[in-house]
Chains A and B, each alone.
Chain A
Amino acid sequence: MQKFIPSLLVAAITVSLSACMQSEKQDKKVVINKNPYPSTYQVLPSQTVLIKNATVLTGTGERIDNADVLMSNGKIEQVGQGLTANNAVEVDGSGKWITPGVIDVHSHLGVYPSPSAESHSDGNEATQPNTSEVWAEHSIWPQDPGFQAARAGGVTTLQILPGSANLFGGRGVTLRNVPSHTMQGMKFPEAPYGLKMACGENPKRVYGGRKISPSTRMGNMAGYRMAWSEATEYKRAWDKYETDYAAGKNPEAPSRDIELDTLKGVLDGEILIHNHCYKAEEMAMMIDLGKEFNYHSGTFHHAIEGYKIADKLAENGNCAAMWPDWWGFKMEAYDMVQENVAIVDSKPNSCAVVHSDSGTTIQRLNQEAGKVMYRANENGFDIKPEQAITWITLNSAKSLGLADKTGSLETGKNADVVLWNQNPFSVYAKAEQVFVDGSKVYDRFDEKYQAKSDFMLGQK
């Protein structure tokens, strides 16, 4: 709060002075560049591709048997039976399944890469409880071999988040899972930023251990509220600057604060909340916190107890990103149920997502979703593959604010496509071909399409 007061004063003085000088010449308007590290991603070389006679799960809840998928110019051109196309590379999909590219909303690839090394441990700026000023994209090592492994598992889009040591961990970034030697070369064009927040045990353990706040859950809540209240004033100051400038006045711009820029981005609806939050009572409070400060509480990550408040999550439009079965490693992960995702999914207007938070399980999100489907069906549910696939495709895209671009096989959407050797919810399922924006980025049977990171090159 302290650091903000002088700029408010300055603003107040400027305003009162400028009020009596209406005709004053305006200084150049101060505009903050919201995209200073822009994507340089280029779609890889592609051809028109027609995959024939496969079982297609569209990602919209639909299943089409013996269907074809036509991709051209990086987009899904058509999905249906008996399609033809001129000059298309035809792929026989008989006995195989096609799904949208898999999306992981929670990954630390690149910021906690392999090999695990102190020098590359760049995912948690655990130096103060609010580090909204850090951006995960500035930590990404694009040579993490984990990106290639995830691609072999059908992952075409993934959000890289900072860790959960802090109340506000910083910005997350969404990447295309294409090989590049720069972060910008992977950055998903026009994807909104995410802001990582964390509830519960982690922040209070990290800072409580240092005898600074937060050391309790009430300390966590106080930390969020003080930050949002400061951000609200920051936003007000900038909004006033904008209004005054637009009115022909010559106001002085508030001093820039990189930390508050991110929080203001949330209040402006431009940055989406991604909140590490396991427990029902905490998620319920985080929903109210969003209402208190006029932002949407976004996606709850890990959401072990999502099933306890499934109604509330759906009513408030929160996505919940969950594991099928991780539990027991912390008190807040003790009440796991294997049907969690299914219960959250069962409510109208819900948004259930299966995530990985792991360089290992990101390679098999299809099977992670499968585990949920089968366990739920053993216990009274009737979930079909066409529904379960939404947990790792369209719902994930919604969570990332990208549902208009990817996550389903609909005409005009990005051609992010996976061809599986069989039903993707089998333990024996493997991705055979993976397409990002219509370009083949992985082929299990063609080494030409198997990228290798610099790190692995030439290792004996």
Chain B
Amino acid sequence: MKLFKSSLIALALTSCASFAHAESIAITNATVHTVTEQGILTNATVVIDNGVITAINPKSINTDSTIDAMGKILTPGLIGSMNTLGLVEVSAVSRTRDAGDKKADITFDASTAFNPKSAAVAYSRKGGITTNIVTPRGGEKMFKGQAFIADLSGEYDSIVETNTAVIVDIGAKSKGSRALTIQNLRNKLEDRQKALAKAEKKQAEVKDDKKKEVKEPKRDEKVLNALLAGEKPLIAYADRATDLLALIKLKQDFKLDLVIVNAGDAISVAGQLASAKVPVIISTVDNLPSFDALHQSLESAAKLINSGVTVAFKVNGDTHNLYQLRFDAGLAIANGVSKEQALAAVTANVADAFNYDAGRIAVGKKADLVLWSADPFELSTHVEKMWIDGVEHSTESRHDSLRNRYTTESDMPRAYTK
């Protein structure tokens, strides 16, 4: 077992502990993929201080430490979305599941259940994911609750933002008709809009000095108000072209900030999505037909982008495989998406869809960064270093401990190898 000894030592040397405080760091000689109009900067220096990017290519460097990137690629941290990271440890173990509840409604906020110590959080860092937009599964109602944003530091202060967006599920149903969902959604928005107009009118009619205490809207009404004010994105799961068109109509009628997820048949209505400025969050691997998505293919992402649709990528299926987001982006590249567009689809475009200011490398932005051993999308590469809020984090997880235990020679039972 000589094979493993050197690797163990190497691991011990490279495994980097999380630092308690965000020191100032200059990352020099990096190939920086900014995901901004600046494009790719070569031989560049990025300075981070107190969790924020404070300078790019400064005249002089005066930081606590300097890291020579040796020409390697530095990207914004990747951003996951549309999964239940931190809300599920083992999918089939009910007492480790907090993503849904039969009674969950539009106000459902699962962020208090987020577990930063979940093995899936540390594991996902292996994929260069620094931030995740967690979306609850909800319950029996059309609205599945609200998304929240968490970083992947693994610390108890991981929650970045709560009540970020409203999740709604449109489309094919095992029981009943999809028509009723769209109808209910429209009715809810219309009723709230009328109620708001009525309240406003009533308010205007009373004289200033007699202005009554306005009746405070209920919690769920407040959420609908935020949707109608365009302050909160409506994230809608839908696939069939007719559903996408119905959603576009809703967006136009109620001035919603609409994002469509899955969008299996989006290529059939790509022009409409582009002109209505509706971004889509899709999985690049989905190419098998369903009756709602007969035309999705591995080229869907490229076709949508070429039609002017803003596209973000999510991992399909189980949350535990969030780490492979970069490989899914690589698959999109293999099927016609440019590397720049693919990187945006797993950084800035995800952030933008949720009105979150992240996913780009620019002065003043959050210092969520990943330094890659080479091409970030290749199977052969790995995360060399990553920073979340300017703090360096390790990519080690219990999976590494298990591997080390079973690849280390010992005369004693494995349980003694720790």
Query: Which A residues fall within an 8 A CB radius of B?
Result: 114-117, 145-146, 149, 201, 307-308, 310, 325-331, 334-339, 343, 359-360, 363-364, 367, 370-371, 374, 378-382, 425-430, 455-456, 459
Contact = CB atoms under 8 A, between A and B. Distances in A.
Contacts of A382: 3
Contacts of A367: 327, 379
Given A328-B320, A330-B92, A336 B334 contact: no
Nearest to B295: A459
Interface stretch (B42-50, B149-157, B400-408): B400-408
Contacts of B3: 380-382
Interface stretch (B28-36, B128-136, B282-290, B302-310): B282-290
Interface in B280-324: 285-291, 294-295, 316, 318-321, 323-324
A430 B334 contact: yes
B294 A427 contact: no
Contacts of A374: 379-382
A336 B323 CA distance: 14
B406 A307 contact: yes
Given A328-B318, A331-B90, A380-B407, 11 more contacts: A114-B289, A115-B289, A117-B291, A145-B289, A307-B403, A328-B89, A330-B91, A335-B402, A367-B327, A380-B8, A425-B380
A144 to B, nearest CB: 9
A379 B5 CA distance: 10
Contacts of A334: 90, 119
B7 A380 contact: yes
Given A337-B402, A370-B379, A378-B382, A328 B91 contact: yes
B324 A426 contact: no
A429 B318 CA distance: 24
By DSSP majority rule, is chain A's interface helix, strand, loop, or mixed?
A: loop
B86 interface: no
A359 B288 contact: yes
Interface residues of B, number: 48
A329 B93 CA distance: 9
A329 B402 contact: no
Nearest to B331: A427
Interface string B119-133: 110000000000000
**Top-4 shortest CB links A-B:** A380-B7, A427-B330, A328-B320, A114-B288
A308 to B, nearest CB: 6
B363 to A, nearest CB: 32
Nearest to B333: A428
Nearest to A427: B330
Given A425-B380, A459-B294, A149 B403 contact: no
Contacts of A116: 290
B90 A428 contact: no
Contacts of A115: 288-291
Contacts of B120: 328
Given A201-B92, A343-B406, A360 B379 contact: no
A338 B399 contact: yes
Which has the most chain A C-beta neighbours within 10 Å: B319, B378, B407? B407
B313 to A, nearest CB: 13
A197 B333 CA distance: 39
Contacts of B324: 325
Nearest to A374: B380
A327 B288 contact: no
Contacts of B382: 374, 378
A312 B128 CA distance: 36
B318 A329 contact: yes
A207 B12 CA distance: 46
22 contacts: A116-B290, A307-B403, A325-B324, A328-B88, A328-B89, A328-B91, A329-B90, A331-B92, A336-B399, A338-B403, A359-B288, A364-B331, A367-B327, A367-B379, A374-B380, A379-B4, A379-B407, A380-B407, A425-B380, A426-B380, A456-B289, A459-B294
A149 B287 CA distance: 8
B289 A426 contact: no
Contacts of B114: none
Contacts of A149: 287-288
A427 B289 contact: no
A425 B379 contact: yes
B354 interface: no
Contacts of B378: 426-428
B377 A427 contact: yes
Contacts of B112: none
Interface in B202-247: none
Contacts of B381: 374
B177 interface: no
Interface in B368-417: 377-382, 399-400, 402-403, 406-407, 414
B397 to A, nearest CB: 10
A459 to B, nearest CB: 5
B6 interface: yes
A329 B320 contact: yes
Interface string B249-290: 000000000000000000000000000000000000111111
A326 B318 CA distance: 9
A152 B6 CA distance: 40
B82 to A, nearest CB: 17
Contact of B334 (A114, A370, A379, A428): A428
Contacts of B380: 370, 374, 425-426
B399 A328 contact: no
A145 B120 CA distance: 33
